[in-house]
Chain A
Amino acid sequence: TSHGSSHDEL
């Protein structure tokens, strides 16, 4: 999901 993709950053 596009939501999760921000959480792959540190």
Chain B
Amino acid sequence: MNIFRLTADMTHLMSVIVLLLKIHTIKSCAGISLKTQELYAIVFTCRYLDIFTDFISFYNTIMKVIFLWTSFSIVWYMRYHKIVRRSYDKDQDTFRHVFLMLPCLVLALLINERFTFKEVMWTFSFYLEAVAILPQLVLLQRTRNIDNLTGQYIFLLGAYRALYILNWIYRYVTEPNYVHWIPWMSGLVQTLLYGDFFYYYFLSWKNNVKLQLPA
């Protein structure tokens, strides 16, 4: 475990905490895409199929449980909580899951490290995570008023992905035979998708004005 990896995981954890804070304290999920949250629940379910079969470390298992538990509870809150669900902007959040999931599944069946069920699901989770933010970015662009917590949530998600790239570089340099093209390439694509958002986030931060994406 290197410092980049630990910071990445903690940033990921913080993003989830920020989102849950918004849901719990303000009882609002305004500006949050349920489609993206559902895709994340699918991503973690497919990736962590090894949770009961392969023990890596106590840290690893705990974090997997946290990401599974929180992703499903966020979806539950947005769909079923009687107050939170009222703030969900269904008409703006129109992205279709299938358009993202189907190509990712086909790609996972074609390009993987090993053709086994668990391995294909693991690969699929990386391809899907790379594009899972798209419904959220589309919703963000449609939302005129982006509140601070939503902006911070997406910023932390993007930062987590960028830190993972540093972790991969560090591991590639320090560990022999550490080469993993599938997480690298999908991670790179995922991080690039945040580029535009980062640009406007820093601009609003620098000029001390409310974050707003151009239409």
* Chain A residues within CB distance 8 Å of chain B: 2-10
Are the CB atoms of A10 and B178 closer together than 8 Å?
no
Contact of A7 among B54, B175, B177, B178 (CB under 8 A): B54
Which chain A residues border B153 with CB–CB below 8 Å? none
Are the CB atoms of A10 and B64 closer together than 8 Å?
yes
Are the CB atoms of B64 and A6 closer together than 8 Å?
no
How many A-B contacts if CB must be within 8 Å?
30
Are the CB atoms of A5 and B175 closer together than 8 Å?
yes
B57-69 contact mask (Cβ, 8 Å, vs A): 1 or 0: 1001001100100
Interface residues of B in 146-198 (CB under 8 A from A): 164, 167, 175, 177-180, 182-183
Are the CB atoms of B179 and A2 closer together than 8 Å?
yes
10 contacts between A and B (CB under 8 A): A2-B179, A5-B180, A6-B183, A8-B56, A9-B164, A10-B9, A10-B12, A10-B60, A10-B63, A10-B64
